[in-house]
Amino acid sequence: MSVTLETLRQLPFFSKLSQDELAEVASQVHERTFRRGEIILLEGEAPEAVYFVVHGQVRIYRLSPEGREQVLKRLGPGGVFNLVPVLDDGPNPASAMAWTDVTVYAIERSHFMQIARAYPALAMAVLTDLTTKLRDMTALIEDLSLRTVEARLARLLLTQAAEEEASPRRITQQEMAAQLGTVREVIGRTLAELQREGLIRVERHRIIIVDRPGLEAKAML
Lateral strand order in the sheet of 69-75:
39-41, 95-98, 58-63, 69-75
Look up residue 93 and give its DSSP letter.
S
131 sits near DNA (criterion: CB under 7 A):
no
213 sits near its own copies (criterion: CB under 8 A):
no
The set of residues, in sequence order, having a beta carbon less than 8 Å from that of 138 and lying 6+ positions away, is none
What's the min distance (Å) between Cβ of 135 and its own copies?
Answer: 5
The residue ranges of DSSP E strands in the chain, in sequence order, are 29-34, 39-41, 49-55, 58-63, 69-75, 80-81, 95-98, 102-108, 200-202, 207-209
| Residue 189 near which of DNA, its own copies, none (CB within 5-8 Å, type-dependent) | DNA
Contact between residue 51 and residue 80 where contact means Cβ atoms under 8 Å apart: yes
What's the min distance (Å) between Cβ of 186 and its own copies?
Answer: 13
2 sits near its own copies (criterion: CB under 8 A):
no
Which span sits near DNA by CB under 7 A: 76-84, 101-109, 131-139, 187-195?
187-195
The footprint of DNA on residues 48-107 (CB under 7 A) is 66, 68
Q: Rounded CA gap, 89 and 199, in Å?
A: 47
Using CB under 8 A, which of 38, 45, 142, 164 touches its own copies? 142
The footprint of its own copies on residues 59-78 (CB under 8 A) is 62, 64-66, 68, 70, 72
Q: Count each helix (H run) and each strand (E run) in the chain, helices first.
A: 9, 10
The residue ranges of DSSP E strands in 85-171, in sequence order, are 95-98, 102-108
| Residue 184 near which of its own copies, DNA, none (CB within 5-8 Å, type-dependent) | DNA
**Contact letters (x/-) for DNA, 133-172, by CB under 7 A?**
---------------xxx---------------------x
208 sits near DNA (criterion: CB under 7 A):
no
Cβ distance to DNA smaller for residue 9 or 36: 36
Backbone angles phi, psi at 108, to 5 degrees: -50, 145
Give residues in contact with its own copies (CB under 8 A): 62, 64-66, 68, 70, 72, 83-84, 87-88, 90, 93-94, 123, 126-128, 130-135, 137-142, 144-147, 181, 220
